[in-house]
């Protein structure tokens, strides 16, 4: 679906429909990544999220795009993210921590407040990006804007053995069991997930993709999210 972008001066316009008909992979940060040999991602267009840099040397791939929207994550990761040689989409909530440069673009993210499902997905990211209670949802909006016809999600375990009240600020005591690296939030502040609200956002994303004849597939190993169609990653990538 083509549309007239709401902000014709936005630096984000350079990414509009840059990948028509192509496939991308959104790599989330669940422990299931440790069960996979991810070397095949060297041949894919990858969106990395948040602190994926903690595993890149071991995983054997490098993302073309990075997305981070949570201010706590940006504050904890700014130095490492700045050093990454890829395009970074950073929430304007963290613009002071990561100013715009040749590889860093600010996205105008909106809200932790509840929205109806139909208002949770922006096809035009120059208008804004819905946070949707998960950085994965922001990446789905960016991938749509960039023209990808198929998005494959891996590492979206949708399971947090250690958590608290949705959206509450917590401090991770000891190793982090919720992510692929035990150091992910070890000793650091983090926001407890809101899985129910995340699922509403995911449904909005799936509806938008399907309305335009595009697809989102969840190829997470053992993931508990039941919103997107499931697939075995080995079959998807011909492994």
The reported pLDDT for the residue numbered 167 is: 84
The domain ranges of the chain are 20-236
More confident site: 18 or 239: 18
What's the confidence (pLDDT) of residue 108?
A: 93
What does the mean pLDDT of the chain come to?
92
Mean pLDDT of 218-223: 96
Residue 202: pLDDT over 80: yes
Provide DSSP, the chain.
Answer: -----S-TT-GGGGGTTSSTT-EEEEE---GGGGGS-GGGGGGSEEEEETTGGGGHHHHT---SEEEE--HHHHHHHHHHHHH-SSEEEEEGGGTTTS--BTTEEEE-EE-SS---GGGS--S-TTT-EE-TTSHHHHHHHHHHHTT-SEEEEES-----SS--STT-EEE--SS-SSSSSTTSSTTSEEEPP-HHHHHHHHHHHHHHHHHTT-EEEE--TT----SSPB--HHHHTT-
- What digits encode the pLDDT tens for the residues 145-162? 999 999 999 999 999 887
Q: What is the CATH number of domain 20-236?
A: 3.90.1480
């Amino acid at each position: 679906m083509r549309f007239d972008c709401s902000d014709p001066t936005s630096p984000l316009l350079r990414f509009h429909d840059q990948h028509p008909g192509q496939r991308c992979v959104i790599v989330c940060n669940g422990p299931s990544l440790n069960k996979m040999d991810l070397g095949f991602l060297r041949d894919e267009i990858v969106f990395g999220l948040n602190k994926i840099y903690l595993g890149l040397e071991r995983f054997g791939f490098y993302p073309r795009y990075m997305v981070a929207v949570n201010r706590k994550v940006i504050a904890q990761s700014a130095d490492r993210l700045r050093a990454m040689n890829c395009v970074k989409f950073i929430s304007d909530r963290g613009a002071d921590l990561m100013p715009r440069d040749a590889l860093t673009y600010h996205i105008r993210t909106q809200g932790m407040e509840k929205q109806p499902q139909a208002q949770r997905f922006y096809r035009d990211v120059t208008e804004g990006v819905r946070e949707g209670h998960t950085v994965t949802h922001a990446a789905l909006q960016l991938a749509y804007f960039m023209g990808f016809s198929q998005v494959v999600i891996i590492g979206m375990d949708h399971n947090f053995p250690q958590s608290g009240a949705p959206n509450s600020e917590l401090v991770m005591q000891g190793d982090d069991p919720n992510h692929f690296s035990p150091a992910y939030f070890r000793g650091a502040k983090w926001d407890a997930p809101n899985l129910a609200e995340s699922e509403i956002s995911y449904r909005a994303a799936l509806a938008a993709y399907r309305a335009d004849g595009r697809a989102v597939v969840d190829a997470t190993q053992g993931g508990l999210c039941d919103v997107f169609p499931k697939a075995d990653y080995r079959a998807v990538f011909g492994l």
